[in-house]
Amino acid sequence: MNQFRSTFLQEDVYFSDHETDEDQEIEEDRQSTSSPTVSTSAANRRSGQKRNHEETDMDSPSDRKSLRGMIEIVFKQQEEILKRLKTIETKEEERRGGGEEKVVVPPNVRMAVRDGYGDGLKRGLKWTFDQQKPHDAENHPMTEHIITFVRGWAGNAEASEEVVKCAIKRYFITKKQEDGLKKQNQLEVQRQKRVKYERKKEKAKRRMKALQILSAQGWQSEVRRAQIRSAIEIKYTSSDEECDDGFITHPPSWQSDKFAQVKRALDRCFVDNCSHKSRRLLQNRKIGAVHVKSAPNCPEDVSWIVKKD
């Protein structure tokens, strides 16, 4: 009962104050209609009260917390923008730094760099591959020797400063990779892999050329030729093994009969249309034992190259 009486008294005081405020506003409005000065004064007083009320509200803990949260969001957005700008700058620097990689180095300049390096080794010069660049102090004598050798071998017309610099940089990277493989006893293994890849690449190239010849003769349908074109890529090409009198081809165990027939037709077409020298080399190729390998993951249009179990 006491609690109820207390609540009733509080509500009574509230309504009493509220009624007093409303009476005051009515009186001010009445005075404003009769006197402009009074109207301005009353308006200013109400504006000040409202402004004081808003300032009081902004000083509340909840508003300060909300403002702090907005500031934190702004800071996070600024950090994200700075990160993106840094990424863009890094890519731009890499692009500028890699510009020389687009320089076309003529074959005779590449050979001159290689021969110049070999000549430098005979004269007791060397590159230290722990250094990152060929123009470092320890590598400078060998690099200068190669530059002089290239200029005398290839001439100044093709061996411009930019071309020679790019050629030396590329050759330095190659020799550095070879040096790393030597230390890991992997150089010969990598060379064999490279040789095998180049053979497969050349075989795929020959079959693609033969397909073009047969296509001009109306061999197979356009859809079928498109399927064959996808099937004679390097990743589906069998490897060759070098022997005393030529090469031995080892067909993969997953190869279908249809795929074998197509490859034989393409190889026969190329032999019939190639030069006498190439024909003599290709005739020394023999079919060896089947290599047991797992079937590749082929798309639907190439699935016919894999034999069905």
- 81 has a pLDDT exceeding 90: no
Domain assignment present for residue 60? The answer is no
Q: How far apart are the first and last CA of the chain?
A: 93
User: Is there a domain that residue 59 lies in?
Assistant: no
Tell me, yes or no, whether 156 and 48 share the same domain: no
pLDDT band for position 176 (cuts 50, 70, 90): confident
User: Mean pLDDT over all residues of the chain?
Assistant: 76
pLDDT of residue 79: 81
Answer yes or no: do 16 and 116 share one domain. Answer: no
Pairing of the two strands 240-243 and 246-249: antiparallel
Q: Are residues 172 and 198 in the same domain?
A: no
Task: Look up residue 4 and give its amino acid.
Answer: F
Q: Is residue 22 part of a domain?
A: yes
Domain assignment present for 65: no
181 and 288 housed in the same domain: no
Name which of 167, 139, 136 is nearest 153 in CA terms: 167
Residue 165, amino acid: K
Return d(Cα 200, Cα 241) in angstroms, integer: 11
pLDDT tens profile 125-165: 989 887 678 888 888 999 999 999 988 876 666 678 888 89
Is pLDDT of 7 > 50? no
User: pLDDT-based confidence at 217, cuts 50/70/90?
Assistant: very high
- Alpha carbons 31 and 53: distance in angstroms, whole number: 24
Spatial separation of the C-alpha atoms in residues 227 and 305, rounded to whole Å: 10
287: alpha, beta or left? (left if phi > 0; alpha if psi -120 to 50): beta
3-class secondary-structure state, position 286: strand
Residue 46 has pLDDT above 70, yes or no: no
pLDDT exceeds 80 at position 307: yes
Q: In this structure, are residues 247 and 286 in contact, taking their beta carbons and an 8 Å threshold?
A: yes
**Domain end marker among 134, 153, 185:** 185
Range with the largest mean pLDDT of 16-20, 229-233, 285-289, 297-301 = 229-233
Q: What is the pLDDT of residue 156?
A: 60
How many structural domains does the chain have? 4
Whether 206 and 294 map to the same domain: the answer is: yes
Query: 94 and 179 share a domain?
Result: no
Looking at the domain assignment, is residue 64 inside a domain? no
In a domain? residue 61: no
Q: Are residues 193 and 297 in the same domain?
A: yes
Phi, psi of 42 (to 5 degrees): -65, -40
Residue linked to tokens 């760099």: 113
Tell me the mean pLDDT in the region 31-60.
49
Range of the domain at 41: 2-54
134 and 172 inside one domain: yes
At 266, which amino acid appears?
A: L
**Residue at 140 is within a domain:** yes
CA geometry: angle 284, 286, 290, nearest 5 deg: 160
Segment 217-236 mean pLDDT: 91
Same domain, 234 and 222: yes
In a domain, 243, yes or no: yes
* Buried-exposed string 244-262: b where 16+ CB fall within 10 A, e elsewhere: eeebbbbbbebbeeebeeb
* Distance between CA atoms of residues 275 and 292, nearest Å: 34
Q: Extract the runs of DSSP E, i.e. beta strands, from the chain.
A: 240-243, 246-249, 285-287
Least confident of 97-111, 169-183, 289-303: 97-111
Average pLDDT over residues 116-128: 91
List CB contacts of 164: < 8 A, sequence separation 6 or more.
Answer: 109, 113, 147, 150, 151
CA distance 206 to 275: 13
Most confident of 72-86, 92-106, 160-174, 235-249: 160-174
Same domain, residue pair 230 and 210: yes
Let me know whether 138 and 196 are in one domain.
Answer: no
Separation CA 42–CA 26 (nearest Å): 11
- Answer yes or no: do 251 and 207 share one domain: yes
